[in-house]
Each structure stands twice: as C-alpha cells, then as structure tokens.
Structure 1
Amino acid sequence: MESCAYFISDAHLGVNPPGALPDREKMLVDFLASIKGRASHLVVVGDLFEFWYEYSDYVNKNHMELFFTLRELVQAGCEVHILRGNHDFAYGDFFPKALGVQVHRSLILEIQGKRVYFHHGDGVPKSDFGYRIMRRVLDFPLNRFLFKQIHPDWGMALARFVGRNSRKIGESRKIRLEEYLSWGKSVLKRNNCDFCIHGHHHLAGMWDVEGGVVASPGEWIWKPAFLRMEKGGLILENL
C-alpha cells in the first residue's frame, strides 16, 4: 500500500479557549499514533503550540506524550517537519536533536511527484502589518536573550497572558480569503509548485487558483481537520 502524507495546522496546544474540545491534545496524539507505519510525511504547518520557547535545561513537561509520539513517527520512517507559526516561532534545537523533527520558516517538498510549498501564512494579509513589526521586535536577539532570563514558569504565564489578549483582538478581525489566494497563486508561480499549503486563518479548505491549488488543513481547537495527500492528490478530512 502506498504511503500517504499528512498535513495539520493550528493546534495551539497549551491553551483552551471557550468552546475548545476537551482532551484535544490526546486526540492529536492518538491521531499521530494511528498514522505510524503508513505515513511518508507529516508536516505541521505552524502554531502547534500556543507558545513555545526553549531554555537550556527546560522542556515543557505538559507535552511529553506528544514528543514521544513524534519521535516514534520519525523512528518508523516518517519524515516529520514543523513550521514556525506566529505563536511558536522561537524553536531552538530540541526538536531536531531530541526528536529528529525538522523545523522551518517555509518549506518545499517533492511528494508523490508533486512540488508542495508550505508556509504558516502569517504576515500575508495587510491586516498583519502590526504583527510583522511585533515579530521583528520579539525575534530580535537581545529581546530573546532577555526573555530567557525570566523563570520559565513566569515566562509561560506572561506568554499566555499576551496570547489571550492578542487572540481577542484577532477574533474581531475579518478574514480576507482573497488575500491568501492571491499570495498563494504568486507563490505557486514563483516556486514552480503544484500546491501551496498554509494555516493561520483556521479555515479548512482547498481552492483552485491559476497554476495549482491553495489549501489549508484548518485547526485542532474546535473542529479538528487535516489534509491527506494520496496518489498526488489532496483530500481534506475531519477527524
């Protein structure tokens, strides 16, 4: 049986907004365990965590089952990639060194004879202008160093507080799908790809554009969904 590739996005693990599914991290872990041995690729298209930061001697113990499952996927021969999202851009070397999971800002893969471009999708809409500035500030080396001096428990609490407030602002922002599709069309042409896969807006769907398909796996907060690639085609599925 030919192996499939799986793409998920926007789990935002570590926070439970109103209406979020209970035990959704366990649901995700069970799903990942279920594809072991039959997945050639797994790509997490950003915002796996609500917040991620690596200290020299600290790893978030709340996600140990997820870490073990990702490593087991890699050991079973699955190529696992994680993209930096707007919530979890501060990855260090824990995932590559400890788990064998590759981390990227953007990525192009050749899968089943198709070229697939991956990017979280943050910074695409014009309304993300403020975020683009803030991202530069937060990712500045001196600011990263200063944050690292905060006790991990305090740092996580601060990050959750900021995340909750930014989420409230984002919920009132209108999603302009045409901006993502226009961007996706240009990405396909520029990189000679067949598919452009992104997340960020939490809408699950596939849209035909000139030159290929723009697709989003959706989210794992309220209505878990994923994209499966089989025989060179994309299939959108709900859990």
Structure 2
Amino acid sequence: MSLPAYFICDAHLGIDPPGCVPDREAKLVRLLESWKGAASHVVIVGDLFEFWYEYSFYVASEHMELMRVLAELVKSGVAVHLLQGNHDFAYGDFFPKKLGVPVHKELMLEIQGKRVYFRHGDGVPKSDRGYRFLRKVLDFPLNRWLFSQIHPDTGMKIARFVGRNSRKYGENCQIKLEEYLDWGDSVLVREKCDYCIHGHHHIAGIWSTEHGTVASPGEWIKKSTFLAMEEGGLKLVSL
C-alpha cells in the first residue's frame, strides 16, 4: 500500500485579511508536521506566500517555522515540490539549495500509477491578457534587479500594499470556472495525464471533464482545504 500524497495551494502567508483563519500559518505548520514520514509527496501549487522576493542575504524571518518543517519533511523522505504562483514567482535558489525543495513553473509527476500535472493557473482565462503582460514586465530581469536594490523591509511594504489593492480588485472580478476546466481538459490531452491540478481562483473542487479529472486544492485564507491522493484517487479535505 503506497503512502498518500497531499496538494495545497493559495495560502498567501504574510497577510491576515479580515475573516481569515486565526493563526493559519501555525495551523499549516502543524498539518505539514503531521505528514513527516507519512506521505510520498507534498506539492504546494503556488502562492504559498502573499509575496516572495529572494535577496542574497535576506529571508523573511516570520516564516522560519514553515521553512523548518519543509526541510524536515524532505529529511523524513517526503518529496516536497513548490510551484511559482502569481504572488510568489520571484524565487531564487534558497528553497532548492537550503531546504531541498525544488521550485517549478509547471510539474509532471507519476504518483500511485497516475500521471499528475501541476500548475498554479494564473493567466489561464482568455480574458486575462492584461495580467499576462504585467507578469512579463515584473519578471523581466532588469526589473527584478532594480527591485533587488530596494531595502528588503521597504520592498516588502511596497509589495504588500500593491497586493492588498490587487486583492480588492480581484474580489470584484467574476471567476469563469469553465475557462479553467476547458484549459485543464486540454492539458489532460496534451500531456497525456490523468489529473490536472491547479489553483489560483481559490475554489476547491474535483471536476470530471471529457478526458480526465481537473482539481483545485482551494485556499488557506478563509478556509483550510487541501487535496489528498490515496490509491490513485483524489479527495478534497477540509479542516
């Protein structure tokens, strides 16, 4: 009997908006600790942090317990993977080199005899042209370097200010779930996989499509949900 695998998304750690789960980062750390040596894989499907920028000599100290438990998960034999989200795409080599956690834009794994594709899901809607352009601007090497010249404390304040305002804008946008499902179904065909796992829209669910299954772990802000994979099947877990 194979060990279960777990998939989490959209924790947005580093902020505590109104109505959020109390002590949610500590709650997430406890959950991750419970999986040490008891899971085959843990995949974080993007936006673990509300903001992440990797300076050469600076790491956000408020997340040290989380980093500790991720490193301990790896040492216990769990394959831990981290995907870039739209809020935390600016990773460097800290997670792979210091914690043993590889970072990906997209990922394909074979788990329990199933091919599973992972991607955060930002930029998927056809109407999201503006975001796709903005992402290219933010991720442009010169702009990344210019931001690195800002003091980390100041950079974090700027990023969180921008994030708060973009979140207010995003809350008023209608999510077209069918666009995500159509995209996911096309991924199932293109990648010849059994499951397409994504996040970004914060809607937890498992949906059957024409060519397989598309699923989202949900979010870890106002709810605490994740996906568990056992004996080749997916289920949604809510704490």
TM-score normalised by the chain length of structure 2 = 0.99
- Percent identical among aligned pairs is 70
- The code of the aligned residue for 2:166 comes to S
Superposed, 1:88-103 pairs within 5 Å as 88-103=88-103
- Give SS of 1:199's match: coil
2:142 equivalent in structure 1: 142
Provide the alpha-carbon RMSD of the alignment: 0.7
Distance 1:98 1:28 in 2: 20
- Give SS of 1:144's match: helix
Is 1:175 the counterpart of 2:175 in the alignment? yes
Deviation per CA, 1:128-184: give whole Å up to 9, x if none: 211111100000000000000000000000000000011011000001110000000
Distance 1:127 1:52 in 2: 26
C-alpha deviation, 1:17, in angstroms: 1.2
- The code of the aligned residue for 1:92 comes to G
C-alpha deviation, 1:199, in angstroms: 0.2
2:79 equivalent in structure 1: 79
Is 1:44 the counterpart of 2:44 in the alignment? yes
Distance 1:220 1:16 in 2: 11
- The code of the aligned residue for 2:134 comes to M
Q: Name the stretch that deviates more: 119-128 or 169-178.
A: 119-128
User: 8 Å contact 2:2–2:112 — kept in the other structure?
Assistant: no
1:12 equivalent in structure 2: 12
Q: Which runs of 5+ in 2 are unaligned?
A: none
- The code of the aligned residue for 1:44 comes to I
C-alpha deviation, 1:126, in angstroms: 2.4
Aligned length: 239
Distance 1:213 1:83 in 2: 20
- Give SS of 2:130's match: helix
1:105 equivalent in structure 2: 105
- Give SS of 1:39's match: coil
C-alpha deviation, 1:127, in angstroms: 3.2
C-alpha deviation, 1:16, in angstroms: 1.1
C-alpha deviation, 1:74, in angstroms: 0.1
- The code of the aligned residue for 2:235 comes to I
Deviation per CA, 1:182-221: give whole Å up to 9, x if none: 0000000000000000000000000000111000000000
- Give SS of 1:206's match: strand
1:68 equivalent in structure 2: 68
Distance 2:31 2:86 in 1: 24
Distance 1:182 1:87 in 2: 24
- Give SS of 2:127's match: helix
Deviation per CA, 1:76-118: give whole Å up to 9, x if none: 0000000000000000000000000010000000000000000
- The code of the aligned residue for 2:33 comes to A
Distance 2:5 2:109 in 1: 11
2:213 equivalent in structure 1: 213
Q: Which runs of 5+ in 1 are unaligned?
A: none
Distance 1:104 1:201 in 2: 19
